[in-house]
Amino acid sequence: MLKTIKKLTPEAGRTDAEALRAYDADALARCVADAKQPWWRRAACVEALAGRVPERRVARLIACVQDPDDVSHVRVALLGLLADRPELLPWLRHEDRRQDGAYGMAEAVLGARGALGDLTAARALATLAFDPWRRRRETGEAGLDALAARHGVQAVLAQLDASRPEGRSTAVRLRDLAGEDVTDALADPDRQVAFRAQERLTDPRRLRGYLAEAPTEEAKLWAAYALHRLTEDIDETRRLYEELGRPRVEVTGLDEELRTAIVHEYGRWCEEPSDPRWRLEALCTEPPPAGDTAERLRRALAALTAAGLAPKPPISCGEDNGSGDGTYDVIRYGESGDAVFLSTLGPFAAGEDDRPDVRRALESAGFRLLDDAVRAIQVTDLGVYHFGSRGPLSVDTLVFYWQD
């Protein structure tokens, strides 16, 4: 039987899932419990066992879950499969589970506690559901939904800490799922809570009425943003933007040319806790003039060549770094391989050093070289993901952005 399973799972990423789901459940369970099999084959068998775990194999599969030396991917998958087994709950609730550092296990344990109806997990699940990573967020939400289905929304709400944003965010979500109006959450002092609340709103008429009664200016901004999300009526959005006084986040030292480039690159897609003024500014102001990046690179290359700097052909920042992508190209020059960075957001450039001949060449080609003071400006309240961080970044990082 194992020979057949191997044939259906010849290598990672190649699984005949339909045939595996129709295969003998007992054989699949034995393969899952066989630590000599590669983790991806065992995980595929776990998936194929959904809804048909042989009772006589449950204890052995639970032992795999509880074995800290087993592969975390298999343990996590098994927790999802066995989340209806109440005999797991004492082990899941034990304080030692908090010390289990295997990848994904902390979230999987919480999700299983939720699936098994453990109300004491509600606060931790709310924290997980507030996480910016989608996979962690979905695990937390699924656990909370299972608790609400078993005990009722009010019982779950009673477990939450309303003084913390993750508790309020979960309350908004559960209230909304229960059919309550959650427009009031647009006035939440935590921007991530307010952002998630606006995502749940579906009634443009209610939002228009709320604009007149919103208790804070920021709540009005969230209402205007949610209204645009629903209607895509840019004329209405721009009218509201004008009525609200064209609000924007002032950043000391940030000139309009740079600001326009940054806001139209990042304002619409910034992270949840960002100030809503950035989002509306991106919607309601004119973008920078369209530029021909290829033509700018040709001019830069010609100017550096004319200055006798022996430049090499331009390459993307991803190619220069060996992977990834971003918002600038690189031209290296001379025997030392020094570099200039040319932004794709506009005619902005920076060099590894401030050589006068390089500066003169690039300025003659229409580029603006940003000095250290400008590059160091922090663009406040605009959260942009960058290597695990979601906080505000400097002009330098935003204009010359690279992400692996």
At 33-77, the pLDDT tens digits run 999 999 999 999 999 999 999 999 999 999 999 999 999 999 999
In this predicted structure, what is the pLDDT of residue 101? 79
Q: Is the pLDDT of residue 167 over 80?
A: yes
Q: What are 188's two structure tokens?
A: 């939440």
Q: Is the pLDDT of residue 99 over 80?
A: no
Band of pLDDT at residue 371, cut at 50, 70 and 90: very high
In this predicted structure, what is the pLDDT of residue 353? 80
Calculate what percentage of the chain has a pLDDT beyond 90: 90
Of 352 and 287, more confident: 287
Task: Give the whole-angstrom CA distance, residue 107 versus residue 140.
Answer: 8
User: Alpha helix locations (H) across 69-116?
Assistant: 72-81, 89-93, 105-115
Which whole number is the average pLDDT over 272-291? Answer: 95
334 Cβ contact list (under 8 Å, min separation 6):
309, 310
In this predicted structure, what is the pLDDT of residue 51? 94
In this predicted structure, what is the pLDDT of residue 153? 95
| Contact call for residues 44 and 9 (beta carbons, < 8 A) | yes
Q: What are 361's two structure tokens?
A: 């060449």
CATH 1.25.10 residue ranges in the chain? 2-158
Query: What is the dotted CATH code of the domain comprising 2-158?
Result: 1.25.10
Least confident stretch, 101-105, 150-154, 206-210: 101-105
Which whole number is the average pLDDT over 194-212? Answer: 97
Band of pLDDT at residue 172, cut at 50, 70 and 90: very high
Which whole number is the average pLDDT over 12-26? Answer: 92
Stated length of the chain:
404
How would DSSP label each residue in 287-300? PPPP--HHHHHHHH
Band of pLDDT at residue 352, cut at 50, 70 and 90: confident
Band of pLDDT at residue 11, cut at 50, 70 and 90: confident
| Contact call for residues 303 and 247 (beta carbons, < 8 A) | no
Which whole number is the average pLDDT over 154-178? Answer: 97
Q: Is the pLDDT of residue 1 over 80?
A: no
Instruction: Using DSSP, state whether 68 is helix, strand or coil.
Output: coil
| Contact call for residues 95 and 109 (beta carbons, < 8 A) | no
Band of pLDDT at residue 307, cut at 50, 70 and 90: very high
Comparing CA positions, the residue from 115, 106, 117, 48 lying closest to residue 75 is: 106
Band of pLDDT at residue 291, cut at 50, 70 and 90: confident
Least confident stretch, 233-242, 243-252, 329-338: 329-338
- What is the β-pairing status of strands 325-326 and 315-316? unpaired
Band of pLDDT at residue 263, cut at 50, 70 and 90: very high
Task: Give the whole-angstrom CA distance, residue 379 versus residue 336.
Answer: 33
Q: Across the chain, what does the average pLDDT equal?
A: 95
In this predicted structure, what is the pLDDT of residue 290? 86
pTM of the model: 0.90
Which whole number is the average pLDDT over 1-12? Answer: 87
Instruction: Using DSSP, state whether 338 is helix, strand or coil.
Output: strand
Q: Is the pLDDT of residue 213 over 90?
A: yes
